[in-house]
Amino acid sequence: MATALITGASNGIGLELAKVHASKGGDLVLVARNIAKLNELKAELEKQYQVKVYTIGKDLSAPNAALEVYEETKKQHIQIDYLINNAGFGDFGMFVDLDWSKQLQMINLNITTLTHFTHLYLQDMVKRKSGKIMNVASTAAFQSGPTMAVYYATKAYVLSFSEAIDNEVSDKGITVTALCPGATESGFQAAASMEESALVKGKKLPTSQAVAIYGYDAMLKGKTVAIHGFMNAVMANSVRFTPRALVVKITRKLQDKAH
């Protein structure tokens, strides 16, 4: 069975993806800042599924974090068959008012580290002529997002990048999937300070588990773009036929605080 490396595996969709993979009998390398949470999950998965789990505590927004993780897996002689770039975060508010260091951290994590991980592990996959990569984007990837400008832009990058790389390696036995969940019960909203936005306040959101099961299945099937939820898919695709200025206004209305 394949070994999967999952970033941001200490909670939310990443944690649920780890459970899904372990339930199939696959070994894991789990990466996140919170090593205590990772080790709790390691103990749970190893006991329940008799799989091997290796944990790496790392701030993935730091420079060269991806290279350090890659070198650690090499040192441990762990072959990564599935790379799941799930780690990422958002920030809510007017761009001009937001803390710059947090925006830079977001760009480093959501874009730079994800791209570096892909570059490193893809080379090994190409040599073996097998492997799967899943990059967690978002339905935010399909339009710009006032009040979360940098986050939406980073996810547009993830989608565009994933589609291009999937095309480049399609003849090499490798697939790249961009998973695009909508708003999800995952702790993301609290971290991004957006619990009061019209997008999430009072809404029944899909669980991280439902998104993880859907995404994992899409990755195994080699689906290039996987949008979770029927309405999310309709909305994401309808953007192409709507004037861009109108899409931005609608997104702003959804993101603003619910009254």
Catalytic residues: 151
Per the listing, tokens 């689906």 go with 223
CA separation for the pair 81, 182 (Å, rounded): 27
Of the candidates 84, 257, 254, 8, the residue with the CA atom closest to the CA atom of residue 152:
254
DSSP per-residue string spanning 169-229? HTTTTEEEEEEE--S-BSSHHHHTT-TTBTTTTT--PPBHHHHHHHHHHHHHHT-SEEE-S
CA separation for the pair 149, 129 (Å, rounded): 38
* DSSP helix/strand/coil, 13: helix
CA separation for the pair 33, 227 (Å, rounded): 27
